[in-house]
Amino acid sequence: MLLFLLACAEPPPVVAADTLPDPGDYVLAGPGGPAASFDAAQLDQPCAALTGGPEDIEHHNLVGIYDGWLVLPWAPEDGGGGISLFDFSDPCAPAKIGEAYSAIMRESHTLAIAEVDGRTILAVDAHHDGDRGGIGFWDLTDPTAPVWLSDLELPGYHYPDAYFRVALSTFWQGDVLYVSAGFLGVFTVDVSDPAAPVLLDQWTEAGFLAGSFHVIGNLALASSAGLSRTMLWDIGDPTDWQLLADWEPTDDGGEPRPYYFANVGGRYAFFARKGDGGGPMVYDLADPTVLTRVSSAFSPEGDGGYVSRHHDTLFQGESNFGARYDFSDPSAPIEIARIDMAGDFDTLTPIGNVAVASVDDDADPGLATQVFPWDPAPDARGPTAELTSPMDGATWVPVTGRIGLSFDESIEPKSAHAGSLRVWRADGAAVPGRFYGQETLVNFVPDAPFDADTTYVVEVPAGGIADVSGNPTEATLRFTFSTGAAVAEVPW
């Protein structure tokens, strides 16, 4: 197994030989997530709209928080769109702080953002006039003035086959960007210099349509876009991926069902069922070699788009409406509320105690993205890491491996740093590295390969990694792994 289910017991403190920052020793440029309260009459009713620039044709998807600002992409499938950033501390009165347009940005389904040499870089999809396209990069270092930095054309790209041979989503880990591109598979791109990205490799599997690629340390979930086939890979050796599981999510009757897109939150993978109804299908990833079907919530009127988790609640766009599901009992998710909005309603993104709803077609003018309060009180609960890769006690971890954690809600990526995600050798020497956050996932990439036959300690201290509302982890998580045959006893 590659993953570790968080234990309940609080471990004793660790004293490292090297001095590390305090868990909360980071500063955000923006104010972070919502700090507003709502009364019952305001719940599930729109209170604000988010709009793009004058070129915005109201084709919107997901949003996210980075460095305390809300990031809103707006671009159609055939290109010509942009990026807008907002102060979202008062979600019913969002204040736009920056915006830019690019003629070649196209519809993007993820927000892969990283810090590279002191610059904040966002990877998106791109489309040129004619039959050329791939990915592009925004420089968001100055959020008041985003700059289109570069783009990279991908071989085999073809549009208007909007799902078959175009970039659909991106995931950033270290110097590698993973690009899911339909039947073209998954491209790996060297992004050590985002101004000059370089294509490294292309992974394909006959008949597999790659919609998204989520990475937790050394584990990768390759999911479809509109089909049902799904795969899990061990990518600890980036030159030699190892297949762990190949399956199709099923409904309560055991029938394989297609899904529009997949997501990860905590120990679970979620699949937004589409065709013949909607609703989330849920799988447990605690042992990726023996995947466990947990549940589904069938919505006869739905037709799934994207699904997200916020602690005990799931949010899913169902094309005709948006739905919230009570996930306090993962074995029996129950629909508890619906949100109505004109257009092809695919995306419902939880941001603290509000949900940001977006449509990518047939929006009412100026209303392609709207804000809906769903909880009366501001979010005050910190994130919990339910899975890690490597697992606690893992041996023979490749020296080329990385460390990943999956939380039960979206995190503020800038809160992941050397004080909130601590990595040591067993002798107490701190391991320097870089930190990457994308929705619910945090990855640590060491600056140099791990040492051979060495035990490592990983710790997320209480008060460490924070969610988009600024709430930090409430309990300490600690685990060990080895690049050799055995995990050495660590002197706590």
pLDDT digit string, tens, across residues 306-337: 999 999 999 999 999 999 999 999 999 999 99
Q: What are phi and psi of 28, to 5 degrees?
A: -95, 145
| Encoded amino acid at 335, one letter | E
Q: What are phi and psi of 61, to 5 degrees?
A: -135, -130
* Ramachandran assignment for 228, one of left (phi > 0), alpha (psi -120 to 50 degrees), beta (any other): alpha
Place of tokens 């409430």: 474
Q: How far from 67 is each of 20, 222, 382, 489, CA to CA, in Å?
A: 21, 28, 17, 38
CB 159 within 8 A of CB 167: no
CA distance 344 to 324: 17
Average pLDDT over residues 457-463: 95
CB 482 within 8 A of CB 488: yes
Provide the whole-model pTM.
Answer: 0.95
Q: What are phi and psi of 42, to 5 degrees?
A: -85, -15
Beta strands in 352-425 (DSSP E): 354-359, 369-373, 385-389, 403-407, 422-425
Domain parsing of the chain, residue ranges: 1-34+381-492
pLDDT digit string, tens, across residues 115-165: 999 999 999 999 998 889 999 999 999 999 999 999 999 999 999 887 899
DSSP 8-class letter at 41: G
CB 119 within 8 A of CB 141: yes
| Encoded amino acid at 236, one letter | G
Q: How far from 334 is each of 80, 81, 269, 279, 315, CA to CA, in Å?
A: 39, 37, 17, 10, 11
Mean model confidence pLDDT for the chain: 94
Which pLDDT band, with edges at 50, 70 and 90, does 166 fall under?
A: very high
Q: Does domain 1-34+381-492 have CATH number 2.60.40.3710?
A: yes
CA distance 4 to 389: 7
pLDDT value of residue 212: 95
- Classify the C-alpha dihedral 316-318-323-327 as positive or negative: negative
CA distance 115 to 120: 5
Q: How far from 32 is each of 65, 85, 266, 385, 414, CA to CA, in Å?
A: 7, 12, 22, 21, 11
Provide the edge-to-edge strand list for the sheet that holds 455-460. Answer: 422-425, 455-460, 477-482
Q: Is 53 exposed, middle or buried (0-12, 13-18, 19+ CB in 10 A)?
A: middle
pLDDT digit string, tens, across residues 332-387: 999 999 999 999 999 999 999 999 999 999 999 999 999 999 999 999 999 999 99
Q: How many CB atoms lie within 10 A of CB 332?
A: 12
